[in-house]
Amino acid sequence: MDSAIWTEKYRPQEFSEVKGQREIVKRIKAFVELQNIPHLLFAGPAGVGKTTLALVIAKKLFKDRWHQNFLELNASDERGIDIIRNKVKDFARTRAIGDVPFKIIYLDECDALTREAQQALRRTMENYTQNCRFILSANYSSKIIDPIQSRCAMFRFKPLGKEEIFTIIEHIEKEEKIKINEKAKEALYDVSEGDARKVNNILQSSAAISKDITEETIYSMASVAKPKEVDEVLKLALQNKFIDARNKLMDIMLNYGLSGLDIIKQIQKEILNLDTDNEKKMLLMEKCGEIEFRMTEGSDEFIQLEALLSQFVLYGAKK
């Protein structure tokens, strides 16, 4: 199914559609029932329900007139000071249509706004409080200037838990008439890292290949190596089989199209499952961090991964 059609079909209408954020929803619901909300700041990782909750707030407050009273802007596209001075200010200075005395401006990814734009936004929030409320969404609240943070009620969203991800998977499975086995569901949860949007995109890609979705399909669509394959590489290295471990790692990267940074994250996860003492695990984890830093600074990823494997071999030899 086309993602635009899917989004329209499942456009959020109720607070119950926001999964995994029970306490936040409870507090927001109380604001909506009073028909009075403060400026809000939603902080948290991608795909956990920030935009969904903002849409539900608008629909519950304004009913059929929510389109006229709700302005959504993606600050990563429109991040300059002119957008705040013109588009936002023009919308904020006009009165709301209907019974609710204010409009809502939803600024998505507002941590991408320049500092100058954030300063202009601060003044706009101050001057038009009577007519308008702001809902700001950010992945990293630390990138929002303190004067804006102090004007907002802060809500920190968390990644969705296993139960919530499984509920979403089962809902899609039922609606789209596809079959997803238990191992595939576990793989989806592992790959998505609590991101509902990622679950939807991977399932959409997988369903295009087959209506019967397996663990193999999920890993190939998500461009992620199977945990047991990464585990095998680490065990080979710890057994002093450096060349075998290196060849196996290169095969995995080529087969799944992984970059060095992709595979280093998976190695870091698998270290915790190794059958070795905790001190060695922590030392290997530290090496992972060092190699990841070198990669981000521009070092050759293959040389750095070989250096990491050599550390595993040395620790294995000490054992």
* Torsion angle of C-alpha atoms 156, 157, 159, 165, degrees rounded to 10: 160
Cβ atoms of residues 88 and 127 within 8 Å: no
| 172/133 same-domain check | no
State pLDDT tens for residues 135-144. Answer: 999 998 889 9
Residue ending a domain, among 221, 237, 266, is: 221
In the prediction, which pLDDT does 293 show?
A: 93
- Report pTM: 0.78
How large is the average pLDDT for residues 128-151? 89
Tell me how far apart the alpha carbons of residues 95 and 98 are, in angstroms, rounded to a whole number: 9
Tell me how far apart the alpha carbons of residues 151 and 181 are, in angstroms, rounded to a whole number: 47
Residue ending a domain, among 190, 221, 252, is: 221
Cβ atoms of residues 78 and 45 within 8 Å: no
State pLDDT tens for residues 40-63. Answer: 999 999 888 898 899 999 998 888
135 three-state secondary structure = strand
Residues in contact with 117: Cβ distance below 8 Å, sequence separation at least 6, in sequence order? 75, 79, 80, 81, 83, 84
Range of the domain at 295: 227-318
State pLDDT tens for residues 169-191. Answer: 998 888 888 899 888 899 899 88
| 191/306 same-domain check | no
| 177/232 same-domain check | no
In the prediction, which pLDDT does 232 show?
A: 92
Q: How many residues does the chain have?
A: 319
What tokens were used for 172? 């899609």
The partner residues of 133 in beta bridges, in order of sequence, read 104
How large is the average pLDDT for residues 124-141? 87
| 112/172 same-domain check | no
Residue ending a domain, among 128, 156, 184, is: 156
CATH number at residue 202: 1.10.8.60
Q: What is the biggest distance separating any 2 CA atoms in the chain, rounded to whole angstroms?
A: 74
What tokens were used for 194? 């609590």
Tell me how far apart the alpha carbons of residues 272 and 110 are, in angstroms, rounded to a whole number: 35
Tell me how far apart the alpha carbons of residues 12 and 25 are, in angstroms, rounded to a whole number: 14
How large is the average pLDDT for residues 227-250? 91
What tokens were used for 223? 């461009």
